[in-house]
C-alpha cells in the first residue's frame, strides 16, 4: 500500500503522509483489491483532475463491467392451432392487406 500511496502522492492527488489516519483508512478499504486492480486504478488516477476520494479510486480499480448482451430467455410457449383455423387466419390477413 505504501507504493500505491507514494504514486498517488507523486500525482499530487494525496497530501497525507504514510501512517496518517487517511492512509490507514485507505489501506483497510483497499485490501479487497488485487495488485493488478490497484495498478489499473493508478493508471486511471494519473490523469484524474480535482479531488480524489476513496470511492472514486475504488471505481478506478474495479470499473463496472457492462455485459455485452442480455441472457437469452426461453421462447414463450405457444399452443398449436388447428390447421383449418390457421388457413382461415391467413386468408383473413391477406384480405385485410389487399393481397
**Predicted local confidence at residue 33, as pLDDT:** 93
Range of the domain at 53: 2-61
Do the domain assignments include residue 48?
yes
The three-state secondary structure class of 81 is coil
Do the domain assignments include residue 15?
yes
Do the domain assignments include residue 80?
no
Do the domain assignments include residue 26?
yes
**Predicted local confidence at residue 72, as pLDDT:** 77
Q: What is the pTM of this model?
A: 0.61
**Predicted local confidence at residue 95, as pLDDT:** 94
Q: Which three cell numbers stand for residue 16?
A: 497525507
Do the domain assignments include residue 25?
yes
How many domains, the chain?
1
**Predicted local confidence at residue 99, as pLDDT:** 84
Q: Divide the 99 residues of the chain into consecutive groups of 10 and give the mean pLDDT of each group.
A: 90 91 94 92 92 93 72 80 93 92
Do the domain assignments include residue 88?
no
Do the domain assignments include residue 85?
no
**Predicted local confidence at residue 64, as pLDDT:** 67
Amino acid at each position: 500500500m505504501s507504493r500505491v500511496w507514494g504514486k498517488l502522492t507523486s500525482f499530487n492527488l494525496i497530501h497525507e503522509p504514510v501512517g496518517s489516519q487517511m492512509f490507514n483508512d485507505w489501506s483497510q478499504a483497499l485490501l479487497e483489491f488485487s495488485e493488478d486492480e490497484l495498478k489499473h486504478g493508478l493508471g486511471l488516477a494519473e490523469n484524474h483532475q480535482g479531488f480524489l476520494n476513496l470511492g472514486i479510486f475504488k471505481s478506478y480499480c474495479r470499473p463496472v463491467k457492462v455485459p455485452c448482451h442480455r441472457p437469452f430467455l426461453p421462447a414463450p410457449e405457444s399452443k398449436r392451432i388447428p390447421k383449418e383455423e390457421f388457413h382461415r387466419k391467413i386468408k383473413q390477413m391477406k384480405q385485410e392487406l389487399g393481397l
